[in-house]
């Protein structure tokens, strides 16, 4: 027996109409946020970065693949991860491939970054069946310069990170086992979306957003928000080939 409130079709429609007003307000607010996001100043990327890819070394400009916009997700997969990437980031990666063709036709190149060496990223990409370009920032200052990773000293100075390392909840200890990284190393990777623009041969940094922003896991925030039952509070995730059942 459901513990949720039940009612007539008429009662449902009244409640749904009230919700529609809130959703319309939310949509309008999102339009304002999107405009403000696009109004952010572009910052010229002065430093020359070089990345390891499946096709050899590439510069940041070359990662655009001839388009003027680059959108990348930074998957938590640091050099110290001995088992694999963060399961939550992995589940996000599972949903990206279907967007590639559509973004490409809208002048946007979609890729993912991680700090693990390219050989490990390529093997993990093959295991997961991913098609998007997976780029390594290993032995580069790029991730640290753009807030995609923390140094050990920086992690020590952030109280929330230090608290999670010193007093981890059960789900985070499980996460540590899933990645094969000690929390002091694993939590230095920052799951983030980052965007760049290329204009007249110059590359600009335009936007970054990090977890726990809701859209970091689109399948979770968009689809599961519309299901009848709420999800458990613990942010526990599994890789698609490792679900307990």
Query: Is residue 33 domain-resident?
Result: no
Quickly count: other Cβ atoms within 10 Å of residue 7's Cβ: 10
Domain assignment present for residue 184? The answer is: no
pLDDT at 219: 67
**pLDDT digit string (tens) for 5-53?**
899 999 999 999 999 999 999 999 999 999 999 999 999 999 999 999 9
Q: Distance between CA atoms of 96 and 108, rounded to whole angstroms? A: 13
Q: What is the dihedral of CA 25, 26, 32, 35, to 10 degrees?
A: -140
Q: Which residue has the tokens 């990409």?
A: 125
CATH number, domain with residue 49: 3.40.30.10
Tokens 């700090």 correspond to what residue?
A: 115
Range of the domain at 111: 43-149+189-226
Report the C-alpha gap between 132 and 155 in whole angstroms: 30
Mean pLDDT is lowest, of 69-78, 82-91, 101-110, 207-216, for 207-216
Does the residue 244 lie in any domain? no
**203 within some domain:** yes
Taking Cα atoms as reference points, which of 55, 139, 128, 69 lies closest to residue 96?
A: 128
Q: What is the pLDDT of residue 236?
A: 78
State how many domains the chain has.
1
Please check whether residue 77 lies inside any domain of the structure: yes
User: pLDDT (tens digit, 9 = 90+) per residue, 154-168?
Assistant: 998 999 999 999 999
25 inside domain: no
206 Cβ neighbours under 8 A, 6+ residues apart: 40, 42, 43, 195, 196, 197
Query: Is residue 144 included in any domain, yes or no?
Result: yes
Domain assignment present for residue 173? The answer is: no
What is the per-residue pLDDT for 245?
A: 76
Per-residue confidence band for 213, with pLDDT thresholds at 50, 70 and 90: low
């Amino acid at each position: 027996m459901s513990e949720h409130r039940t009612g007539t079709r008429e009662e449902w429609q009244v409640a749904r109409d009230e919700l529609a007003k809130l959703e319309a307000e939310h949509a309008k607010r999102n339009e304002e946020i999107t405009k403000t996001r696009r109004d952010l100043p572009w910052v010229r990327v002065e430093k020359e970065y070089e990345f390891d890819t499946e096709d050899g070394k590439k510069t940041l400009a070359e990662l655009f693949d001839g388009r003027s916009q680059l959108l990348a997700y930074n998957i938590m997969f640091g050099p110290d991860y001995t088992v694999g990437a963060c399961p939550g980031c992995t589940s996000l990666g599972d949903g990206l491939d279907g967007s590639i063709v559509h973004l490409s036709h809208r002048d946007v190149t979609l890729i993912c970054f991680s700090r693990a060496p390219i050989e490990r990223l390529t093997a993990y990409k093959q295991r997961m069946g991913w098609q998007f370009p997976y780029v390594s920032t290993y032995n580069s200052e790029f991730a640290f310069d753009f807030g995609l990773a923390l140094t050990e000293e920086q992690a020590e100075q952030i109280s929330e990170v230090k608290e999670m390392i010193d007093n981890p909840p059960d789900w985070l200890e499980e996460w540590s086992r899933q990645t094969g990284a000690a929390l002091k190393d694993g939590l230095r990777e920052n799951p983030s979306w980052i965007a760049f623009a290329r204009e007249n041969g110059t590359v600009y940094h335009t936007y970054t957003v990090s977890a726990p922003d809701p859209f970091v896991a689109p399948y979770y925030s968009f689809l599961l928000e519309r299901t009848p039952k709420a999800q458990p509070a613990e942010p526990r995730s599994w890789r698609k080939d490792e679900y307990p059942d």
